Amino acid sequence: MKFHVDAWDPGFGTSLDAAERGPAETSSAKLDAEIELPVGAWRPLDTPPGLAAPESVLLVDGVRRTDARLWIEDADGVTRPGLACSYAAGVVRCERAGASVTGVKVERSLFTAAEAAADVDCGQAARYTAQTVVGADEADLSNRVQGALTELEIAVSRQLRTDGDLLIVDGPLRSRDALPRTLGYIKTQQKQYLPDRLISVVAALRAGQRTPVFRITGVYERLTWYLRLPHAGGSPWAGIVRVECSAEVPDYEAVELAELSTATIPRFASLPYKDPRAPQNLVPIAGLERKLRHLLGDGKLLHRSLVIAAQRTAAGPAGPAAAG
């Protein structure tokens, strides 16, 4: 397989969203705000007295990195795009005795629109397994990378579940609905789901309080609620996160999970002097991300290894093969 590595830094242009600016646009999703309380009775809700966090809480997260953008010569002679990516997922198990990282998995793949793609062997540095996405442009390939990362997160989560634990996913649930007792944890609010008359309840939340549960129906149907974390600033959306559970659970169970979230999530909130993404970037997640990024390896070394592998293909089919 003959391919070329783009010299442009694959990490260029990444940025962090501001955590306190609130929703940027109104969502078109349908809303049912009367799952837990009538609209006229909406108010900030506290953790029920005596409710304790589960004995075992699992927090799952994944990281991804584009090691290089590739241009691959397909069987028809047309050059098609590819992304050589490394990605990893793992779990932090938090119990009374402490927290530990477990179930970590690292994978490397070449996602490409080229139908004649083959694995790329970079020697001892890495091997990238080819995955063809027919007709894909770079945005489609990036979505496929995220899909592969989600699949890896699901795999490590399933292996480590025990009866009675609570699983918190860093980000929306998406295809992870089937995992029992699972919450999606959304740090940055990009869509405004609630009408203006209910937004005031979000702004009125104190640390550890939540809104009533409501249902949103769109591309993904969810039961969801807002929660304010401690250590937040003074703006109306400071420390506000959205928590969601599967729309398949009964309404009463969603309310129980919402109550459990107020007893569980705030204790993991980060501190501003330790984390610029505080308090939304939960402490166990931050530690897990650091470990996973370390396990991805040296991005510059992997990029250089891909360039060398590409150079070995420069002579064409008759030259030394760079792919397995």
Q: What is residue 90's predicted lDDT score, i.e. its pLDDT?
A: 97
DSSP string, 252-276: HHHHHHHHHHHHHGGGG---TTT-T
Each residue's pLDDT tens digit in the chain (324 positions)?
Answer: 888 887 655 654 433 344 555 786 788 889 999 999 999 999 999 999 999 999 999 999 999 999 999 999 998 989 999 999 999 999 999 998 899 999 999 999 999 999 999 999 998 889 999 999 999 999 999 999 999 999 999 999 999 988 889 999 999 998 887 788 999 999 988 889 999 999 999 999 999 999 999 999 988 899 999 999 998 877 888 999 999 999 999 999 999 999 999 999 999 999 988 888 889 999 999 999 999 999 999 999 999 999 999 998 765 554 444 443
CA 320, chain centre distance (Å): 39
For 156-189, b/e burial (b = at least 16 CB within 10 A) is bbeebbeeebbbbbbbbbbebbebebbbbbbbbb
Q: What is residue 98's predicted lDDT score, i.e. its pLDDT?
A: 92
How far apart CA 247 and CA 209 sit, in angstroms, is 22
Q: What is residue 276's predicted lDDT score, i.e. its pLDDT?
A: 86
CA 42, chain centre distance (Å): 30
| 167, 182 Cβ separation under 8 angstroms | yes
All structural domains of the chain, each given as residue ranges with its CATH number in brackets, are 3-10+19-311 (3.30.2170)
Q: What is residue 9's predicted lDDT score, i.e. its pLDDT?
A: 59
**3-state secondary structure labels for all residues of 109-146:** EEEECCCCCCCEECCCCCEEEEEECCCCCHHHHHHHHH
Q: What is residue 15's predicted lDDT score, i.e. its pLDDT?
A: 34
How far apart CA 293 and CA 283 sit, in angstroms, is 16
Instruction: Give the residues across from 74 on adjacent strands.
Output: none
Q: What is residue 163's predicted lDDT score, i.e. its pLDDT?
A: 84
pTM of this prediction? 0.87
How would you classify the pairing of strands 182-186 and 240-246?
Answer: antiparallel
How far apart CA 177 and CA 150 sit, in angstroms, is 12
User: Phi/psi of residue 240, each to 5°?
Assistant: -85, 130
What is the token pair recorded at 43?
């108010």
What is the token pair recorded at 46?
């506290």
How far apart CA 308 and CA 303 sit, in angstroms, is 9
Q: What is residue 155's predicted lDDT score, i.e. its pLDDT?
A: 94
How far apart CA 48 and CA 57 sit, in angstroms, is 19
How far apart CA 56 and CA 239 sit, in angstroms, is 24
